C-alpha cells in the first residue's frame, strides 16, 4: 500500500503576471559579491550542455568549481549526439512566434503536466541562448542573406528551431566546452576526468560533496564543497536498447535519491518516433534519426498488410499516409508521443514494413522532386550518410525505415523554481531534473533546457543558498559522514566483486530492458506493471547472487565493474518507474495507460485527480516509497484535451 504525504510540495514559484515572474524573482535574490565568490566551492557533476555551461559560467563569476566527468573528455558527453536543433522564440521567420507561443506549445506538448512558471522562464531565456552560442562561434545554418535559418519541429505551427545541419548538439557542446576550458586554463575550474560519482555526501541534512571512483585505478576519493550540482542526464538506458550512449545511466541521481532527494515523475519517458529499427538480438543500442527529417520526409505504410513490393512500386493510392490523414493540421509534425503511438498502431495492425514488420517508411521522394537533391543534402546530408552506413540503403533512392525507440526522460529529481532539490545544497540541472517538459518533451527543447539552466538560471539561483548556508571551505576530509560515504561505496564494490556467479552484467541489463520495454514502454496496463514489478524484484535478487564480474580486480580499469554499479541501480530504479506508472491512473503524453484513452486512441487525462507532479521518497530497496504531491495549477494556459488534428 502506497503511503501519500498529506503536506503538498511547494515549488516556491513566484506569483503575479507570468511575463514578469522571473525578472521580479531575480531582483529579490540574495547575491554573493565578486570578492567573496572565491571562498565558495561548487561541484558540478556531468559536463554535457547543462554541466559544461554551468561550470563555465560559475567559474567566470569567480566561484571555485570542480567539474567531474566519467569520460576522458567533456566533449564525449551525450549532448554531442543531439541532431536536429534548439528552439528559441526569436520569430526570425515572422510567422507569429513569441515567448508566449513557445510557452503555450511547451505546456500543451507536455500534456499539461509541467509547471507554468518554469516553462515560461525557459521560453523567456531561449533567445539569449542563441545569442550566447552565436557569440561562441556555433555555426548555425544561415539563409542566403546571412541571417540564421529556422525549421519547424513536432507539435508546433511555427519555425523556431535553430540548427547546425544534423550536428546541433555537437556544435553547441563544443561552444560550451571551449568556455569551460577557458575557465580550466584560468584555474577557476578544476576538471576531473574518468571519475564516476557513486554517492552524495550529506552533512547535517545538506549535500556537501560526492564520492568518486577513478575509472583507471579503482581508487575511491571524497570531494567536498559548499553545494553540489547534478547535470547527469536521463535514464533511458533502463530500457537497455535506447538512443542513449551505452554509458548513460541513473546512478548519480538514484544515489542522491537514496540520500533523501525526491524522484519526480519517473514514468514520464519519451519514445522517439524516428529511429533506425532494431536489427538483431546482439544489438546494444539504437540510432536516432532526427525529428527534423519529418519536415521533408513523409511517413507512410502500405494500405495492404504484408505488401512485399518495393516502396517505389506501390502507387500513391495504395499508401497510407497515416499521420497526414489522422492529423491534417499538423500532419507529420505531430509531437513525438503521438507519432510514436501511431507507428505502433499501424504495425500492430499488420501494416508494418521490413523483415520484422516493426517499421514504417520515411520517404523523401516528393521533397527531392520539389527542392532538388542538393538542397536535401544540404539540410540532412550527414543524417542520410549515417543511415546508409547503418542500414545499407540509400535514402535518396529508397525510403528510410524507422520505428520508435526510447530516447529521453522527462522525469528526474524534483527541484523547486531555483533548481534545488528537497535535499538542501543539491541542485539539479537539465535532463536530470523533472521541471520543464511535463509528460512529453517537444523536439529541440532538450538543448534549450540544458543551456538555459546552466547559462541563465543557476548563476542567479545558486547565490542565495551559498550566502545563507555555505561554510566557505567545504567539509573536512575526516568528517564522519565523509568516511561513512567512502566506506559504503567500498563495501558495495567489494560485494559486487565477491559474488562470482555465472551470468554477465550485460545479460541482466538486457533482461531488465526487455521487461521494461514490454510492460512500461510505449503503452502500459496495471496488470502488466504489476507483472513487471514482480519480475524486476526476482531479477534483482538473482543479480546479487549470480552476477560475475571479470576481471575480478577492483584496482584497475574494470569496465564490467563500472557497468555493474549502474545495472544494480537500474534494477532498483526500474521498480520505481513501474510503481509511478501504476499509481498514475490516467494517460498523459508519453505515459499511456491502455485503460485510459479516448475513443480514437488518444491519451485521456484525469485533471481532477492527477494534475500534480508525483515526487517519491525512498524508504529502502524493495519497500514501498512515499508519494509527495506538488499540485499543478494553470492560470495562463487553459486545460483542454490535447488535439493536433
Residue pair 353/401 in contact (Cβ under 8 Å)? The answer is: yes
Give the end-to-end CA distance of the chain in Å, rounded to a whole number. 40
Q: Give CA–CA dist 110/634, Å, rounded.
A: 13
Cis preceding linkage at 551, omega within 30: yes
Give the CA count within 13 Å in the CB-facing half-sphere of 31.
8
Residue pair 67/189 in contact (Cβ under 8 Å)? The answer is: yes
Strands 189-192 and 64-68: what pairing?
parallel
Q: Where are the alpha helices (DSSP H) in 403-457?
A: 446-451
Non-local (6+) Cβ contacts of 561 within 8 A are 218, 493, 496, 497, 549, 554
CA 592, 597, 598, 601 torsion: positive or negative? positive
**Strand order in 426-428's β-sheet?**
189-192, 64-68, 41-45, 227-230, 426-428
- 566 catalytic per annotation: no
Q: How far is CA 80 from CA 18, 131, 274, in A?
A: 33, 20, 18
**Residue tagged active-site, from 336, 524, 540, 593:** 336
Q: What angle do CA 598, 603, 606 make, to 5 degrees?
A: 90
Angle of the 526-546 helix axis to the 559-583 helix axis, nearest 10? 160
* Beta pairing partners, 190: 66
Q: Nearest Cα to 617, choosing from 259, 229, 218, 223?
A: 259
Residue pair 629/609 in contact (Cβ under 8 Å)? The answer is: no
Query: Where do the DSSP E strands lie in 398-450?
Result: 400-409, 412-413, 426-428
Q: Which three cell numbers stand for residue 400?
A: 528510410
CA dihedral 392, 395, 397, 398 (to 10 degrees): 80
Q: Give CA–CA dist 342/157, Å, rounded.
A: 20
Q: What does residue 409 show for φ and ψ, rounded to 5 degrees?
A: -125, 125
Active site amino acids:
336
Amino acid at each position: 500500500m502506497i503511503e501519500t504525504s498529506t503536506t503538498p510540495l511547494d515549488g516556491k514559484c513566484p506569483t503575479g503576471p507570468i511575463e514578469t515572474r522571473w525578472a521580479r524573482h531575480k531582483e529579490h535574490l540574495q547575491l554573493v559579491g565578486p570578492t567573496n565568490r572565491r571562498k565558495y566551492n561548487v561541484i558540478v557533476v556531468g559536463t554535457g550542455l547543462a554541466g559544461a555551461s554551468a561550470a563555465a559560467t560559475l567559474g567566470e563569476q569567480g566561484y571555485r568549481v570542480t567539474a567531474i566527468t566519467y569520460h576522458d573528455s567533456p566533449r564525449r558527453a551525450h549532448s554531442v549526439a543531439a541532431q536536429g536543433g534548439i528552439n528559441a522564440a526569436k520569430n526570425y521567420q515572422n510567422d507569429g512566434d513569441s515567448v508566449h507561443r513557445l510557452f503555450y506549445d511547451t505546456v500543451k506538448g507536455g500534456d499539461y503536466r509541467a509547471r507554468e512558471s518554469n516553462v515560461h522562464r525557459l521560453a523567456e531565456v531561449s533567445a539569449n541562448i542563441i545569442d550566447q552560442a552565436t557569440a561562441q562561434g556555433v555555426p548555425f545554418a544561415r539563409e542566403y542573406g546571412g541571417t540564421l535559418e529556422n525549421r519547424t519541429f513536432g507539435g508546433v505551427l511555427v519555425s523556431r528551431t535553430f540548427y547546425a545541419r544534423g550536428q546541433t548538439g555537437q556544435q553547441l557542446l563544443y561552444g560550451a566546452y571551449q568556455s569551460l576550458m577557458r575557465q580550466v586554463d584560468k584555474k577557476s575550474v578544476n576538471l576531473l576526468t574518468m571519475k564516476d560519482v557513486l554517492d552524495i555526501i550529506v552533512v547535517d541534512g545538506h549535500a556537501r560533496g560526492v564520492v568518486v571512483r577513478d575509472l583507471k585505478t579503482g581508487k575511491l576519493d571524497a570531494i567536498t564543497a559548499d553545494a553540489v550540482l547534478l547535470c547527469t542526464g536521463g535514464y533511458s538506458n533502463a530500457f537497455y536498447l535506447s538512443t542513449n550512449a551505452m554509458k548513460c545511466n541513473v546512478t548519480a541521481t538514484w544515489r542522491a535519491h537514496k540520500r533523501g532527494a525526491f524522484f519526480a515523475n519517473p514514468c514520464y519517458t519519451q519514445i522517439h518516433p524516428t529511429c533506425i529499427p532494431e536489427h538483431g538480438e546482439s544489438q546494444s543500442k539504437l540510432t536516432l534519426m532526427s525529428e527534423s527529417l519529418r519536415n521533408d520526409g513523409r511517413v507512410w505504410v502500405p494500405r495492404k498488410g504484408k505488401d512485399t513490393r518495393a516502396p517505389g512500386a506501390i502507387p500513391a493510392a495504395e499508401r497510407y499516409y497515416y499521420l497526414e490523414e489522422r492529423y491534417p493540421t499538423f500532419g507529420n509534425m505531430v509531437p513525438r508521443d503521438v507519432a510514436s503511438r501511431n507507428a505502433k498502431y499501424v504495425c500492430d495492425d499488420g501494416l508494418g514494413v521490413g523483415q520484422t514488420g516493426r517499421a514504417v517508411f520515411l520517404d523523401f521522394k516528393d521533397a527531392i522532386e520539389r527542392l532538388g537533391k542538393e538542397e536535401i543534402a544540404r539540410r540532412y546530408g550527414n543524417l542520410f550518410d549515417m543511415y546508409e552506413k547503418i542500414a545499407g540503403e540509400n535514402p535518396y533512392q529508397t525510403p528510410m525505415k524507422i520505428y520508435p525507440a526510447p530516447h529521453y526522460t522527462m522525469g528526474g529529481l524534483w527541484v523547486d523554481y531555483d533548481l534545488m532539490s528537497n535535499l538542501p545544497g543539491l541542485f539539479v540541472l537539465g535532463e536530470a531534473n523533472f521541471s520543464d517538459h511535463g509528460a512529453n518533451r517537444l523536439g529541440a527543447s532538450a538543448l534549450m533546457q540544458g543551456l538555459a539552466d546552466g547559462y541563465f538560471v543557476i548563476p542567479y539561483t545558486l547565490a542565495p543558498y551559498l550566502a545563507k548556508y555555505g561554510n566557505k571551505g567545504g567539509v573536512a576530509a575526516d568528517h564522519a559522514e565523509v568516511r561513512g560515504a567512502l566506506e559504503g561505496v567500498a563495501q558495495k564494490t567489494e560485494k559486487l566483486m565477491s559474488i562470482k556467479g555465472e551470468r554477465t552484467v550485460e545479460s541482466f541489463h538486457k533482461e531488465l530492458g526487455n521487461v521494461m520495454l514490454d510492460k512500461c514502454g510505449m503503452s502500459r496496463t496495471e496488470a502488466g506493471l504489476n507483472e513487471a514489478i514482480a519480475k524486476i524484484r526476482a531479477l534483482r535478487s538473482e543479480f546479487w547472487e549470480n552476477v560475475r564480474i571479470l576481471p575480478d580486480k577492483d584496482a584497475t580499469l574494470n569496465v564490467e565493474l563500472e557497468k555493474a554499479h549502474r545495472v544494480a541501480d537500474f534494477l532498483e530504479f526500474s521498480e520505481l518507474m513501474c510503481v509511478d506508472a501504476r499509481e498514475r491512473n490516467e494517460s498523459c503524453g508519453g505515459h499511456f495507460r491502455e485503460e485510459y484513452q479516448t475513443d480514437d486512441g488518444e491519451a485521456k487525462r484525469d485533471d481532477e485527480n492527477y494534475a500534480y507532479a508525483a515526487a517519491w521518497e525512498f524508504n529502502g530497496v524493495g519497500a514501498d516509497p512515499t508519494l509527495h504531491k506538488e499540485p499543478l495549477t494553470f492560470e495562463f494556459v487553459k486545460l483542454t484535451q490535447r488535439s493536433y488534428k
